């Protein structure tokens, strides 16, 4: 089971701003604008979630002294 990543407020605002700008570009208006924004926001949040999970699965870097 995948656990959702909790985003900081500023990250949520950044993702929402991106989603809203993209939704405006589709020409949506009113409630449709809200629905499109919501869909884009969910897609962005899921992508960010996958990126964080992928980064956590990467092997740790270690310092090697020459």
Tens place of pLDDT for every residue, the chain, 66 residues? 454 567 788 888 999 999 999 999 999 999 999 999 999 999 998 888 888 778 888 888 788 887
Helix/strand/coil percentages in the chain, nearest 5: 65, 0, 35
Instruction: Confirm whether pTM is higher than 0.75.
Output: no
Classify 27 in phi/psi space as left (phi over 0), alpha (psi -120 to 50) or beta. Answer: left
In this structure, are residues 22 and 40 in contact, taking their beta carbons and an 8 Å threshold? Answer: yes
Q: Check residue 61 and give its pLDDT.
A: 78
pLDDT score of 1: 40
Distance CA 18, CA 41 (A): 8
- What is the reported pLDDT for 5? 64
């Amino acid at each position: 089971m995948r656990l959702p990543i909790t985003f900081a407020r500023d990250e949520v605002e950044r993702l929402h701003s991106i989603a809203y700008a993209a939704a405006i570009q589709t020409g949506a208006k009113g409630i449709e604008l809200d629905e499109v924004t919501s869909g884009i926001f969910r897609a962005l949040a899921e992508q960010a979630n996958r990126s964080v999970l992928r980064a956590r699965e990467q092997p740790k870097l270690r310092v090697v002294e020459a």
